[in-house]
């Protein structure tokens, strides 16, 4: 998606070969016009799939999901990050490992809001090794829900998460795929579908 | 706002005289149509005030803010909850006390995204004692920004946060004000402006 790539080039900062800051438009300050164009792109790809619910994870995923949900006309559920899961038995849980923070955390969704009737679109801001996405997929699986697809804003194509999901047959759409990046040389985007 | 009150009555759960669960539509599962009606109501009240930025706090405030921002056509900035603030010097910070969790936490906004040029609308899901709102107001103050107003989905009118803000002259709009609630007797709403 050219607008997103443009924002990444103009307003993103490559902190290191692994870390891209997009806090000017995607995960601290939010460019709502961009989010709407992203929502349209997700709908163009997944709109025919009978999605009944959009699933994301707090906090950065919420903005992307809720704007996109307007096109799909379905509710959003966002998974909560929990310190501990000694709560009620009505939770769907999974463990996610954050490579950025070098630690694991639990994520949870109430069973009331995800069921075997649901056809779920997972949306998130970043895909690198894919741990957060796997956590959400596990929660869908525990709910007995169908996975309709996965939509990602920025995929780090030099990490393996996206490749593995595609090999497994997941319908994965990443609006921008970064093949390589460095503070010195900037960002090289891979080929994505046209929008 | 009648639609929000209706959702609270039909889908909310009064857990105790102080705790209302709205996770079916406002802070776990998100009803996007409701969020849009809330956004319109905020715009009807604050739309003439020359707002340049909407400020909220992760995670539940993000959905409300980003949908409302479509009507104002301005960016959203969400304050991040931080474990520790030994980060860079380019942060605006404040401390917030959570009565629910009985502990304090720090919130932060990058100085790049809030400046003395900004006229800020603070949006959040709940207002009780007002600690989160005060934290965001302090961040605005530190940025030298103007506070255009505060918009809240659900005000607990039996706690003093809203009353104190109004006494100080803050332009505060709460879409639903709960005067009293209990698991036995349900919810009594106060009088709010009509939408």
Rounded distance between C-alpha atoms, residue B62 and residue B66, angstroms: 6
- Would you state the pLDDT for residue B144? 98
Q: How confident is the model over B29-55, as pLDDT tens digits? A: 999 999 999 999 999 999 999 999 999
State residue A91's pLDDT score: 93
On chain A, the residues whose CB falls within 8 A of the CB of B32 are 66, 69-70, 73-76
**pTM for this one?**
0.95
The tens digit of pLDDT for each residue in B165-184 reads: 999 999 999 999 999 999 99
Min CA distance, B123 vs chain A (Å)? 14
A70 touches chain B (CB under 8 A): yes
How would you class A108 by CB atoms within 10 Å of its CB: exposed for 0-12, middle for 13-18, buried for 19 or more? buried
Q: Whole-angstrom Cα distance, residue B195 to residue B6? A: 13
Asked if the Cβ–Cβ distance from A77 to B110 is below 8 Å, we say: no
Crossing angle, helix B32-46 and helix A60-72, to 10 degrees? 100
Does pLDDT of A73 surpass 60? yes
Rounded Cα distance between B62 and A12, Å, is 21
Q: How far is A24 from chain B (nearest CA, A)?
A: 8
In chain B, the percentage of residues whose pLDDT exceeds 70 is 94
CB-CB under 8 Å, A67 with B62: no
- DSSP per-residue codes, B137-183: HHHHHHHT-EEEEEEEEEEETTSSHHHHHHHTT--EEEEEEEEEEET
Chain A residue at shortest CA distance from B30: A76
Residue A152, pLDDT score: 98
Q: How far is A68 from chain B (nearest CA, A)?
A: 10
Per the CB < 8 Å rule, is A77 touching B35?
no
Q: Tens digit of pLDDT for each residue in B55-64?
A: 999 999 999 9
- The C-alpha atoms of residue B85 and residue B96 are separated, in whole angstroms, by 13
C-beta of residue A127 within 8 angstroms of C-beta of residue A152: yes
d(CA A50, CA A69): 13
* Prediction ipTM score: 0.94
Is residue A89 very low, low, confident or very high in pLDDT (cuts 50, 70, 90)?
low
Q: Tell me: pLDDT of A70 over 70.
A: yes
Statement: residue A107 has pLDDT above 80: yes
Q: Kindly give, in sequence order, each residue whose CB lies less than 8 Å from that of residue B61, ignoring residues fewer than 6 positions away.
A: B78, B123, B124, B125
Kindly report, residue by residue over A117-139, the tens digit of the pLDDT: 999 999 999 999 999 999 999 99
Q: How confident is the model at residue B87 (pLDDT cuts 50, 70, 90)?
A: low
**Total residues found in chain B within this entry:** 195
Task: Please judge whether B35 and A113 are an interchain contact, meaning their C-beta atoms are less than 8 angstroms apart.
Answer: no
């Amino acid at each position: 998606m050219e607008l997103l790539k443009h924002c990444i080039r103009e307003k993103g900062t490559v902190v290191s070969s692994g870390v891209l800051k997009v806090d000017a438009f995607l995960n601290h300050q939010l460019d709502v016009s961009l989010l709407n164009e992203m929502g349209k792109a997700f709908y163009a790809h997944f709109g025919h799939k009978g999605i009944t619910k959009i699933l994301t994870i707090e906090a950065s995923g919420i903005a992307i999901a809720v704007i996109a949900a307007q096109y799909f006309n379905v509710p959003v559920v966002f998974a909560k990050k929990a310190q501990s899961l000694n709560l009620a038995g009505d939770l769907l849980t999974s463990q996610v490992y954050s490579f950025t923070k070098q630690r694991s955390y639990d994520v949870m969704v109430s069973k009331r809001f995800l069921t075997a009737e649901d056809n779920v679109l997972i949306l998130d801001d970043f895909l690198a090794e894919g741990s957060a996405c796997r956590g959400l997929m596990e929660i869908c699986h525990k709910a007995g829900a169908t996975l309709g697809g996965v939509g990602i804003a920025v995929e780090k194509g030099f990490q393996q998460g996206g490749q593995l999901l595609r090999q497994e047959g997941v319908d994965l759409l990443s609006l921008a795929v970064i093949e390589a990046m460095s503070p010195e040389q900037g960002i090289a985007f891979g080929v994505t579908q046209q929008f």
